[in-house]
Amino acid sequence: MKVIVFGGDGFCGWPNALHLSQLGHEVIIVDNLSRRKTDIELEVSSLIPIRPMGERLAAWKELTGKEIRFFNFTVGQDYDKLLALFKDERPDAVIHFAEQRAAPYSMKTDQTKR
């Protein structure tokens, strides 16, 4: 089964993507990496270091021989990319973990909402 995981770089999305891949499904992650950008802006970091997406995907492939593809765009903004992805990939399932990281952050300004 071909599965697209929106928010696949996040706390829930990443382990789900790995689990599905390990089960033999073709997995595609879509994420805009906003969590990482927010950390930089707020000058904070995760208690558990999070390696760059390219390193994580390469490590997964090295450990398992399985490939997870990655697309970097914002689901709620890049509608043309979203439509093209659905048209090109024709997924069997979509799992949606993409979200604003924290409600207080989204309430800071009009720009952080978007």
- Mean pLDDT estimate for the chain: 88
26-35 average pLDDT score: 92
Phi, psi of 66, rounded to the nearest 5 degrees = -100, 145
29-35 average pLDDT score: 89
DSSP-assigned beta bridge partners for residue 71? 30
Pairing of strands 68-71, 93-96: unpaired
User: 40 pLDDT exceeds 70?
Assistant: no
Closest CA to 16 of 106, 96, 81, 111: 96
Which CATH number describes the domain made up of 2-113? Answer: 3.40.50.720
pLDDT tens readout for residues 44-80: 677 777 889 999 999 999 999 999 999 999 998 899 9
First to last CA, the chain: 32
Query: Any idea where the domains of the chain sit in the sequence?
Result: 2-113
Phi, psi of 107, rounded to the nearest 5 degrees = -95, 0
Beta strands in 1-114 (DSSP E): 2-6, 26-30, 68-71, 93-96
Higher pLDDT, 46 or 86: 86
pLDDT at 103: 61
User: 43 pLDDT exceeds 70?
Assistant: yes
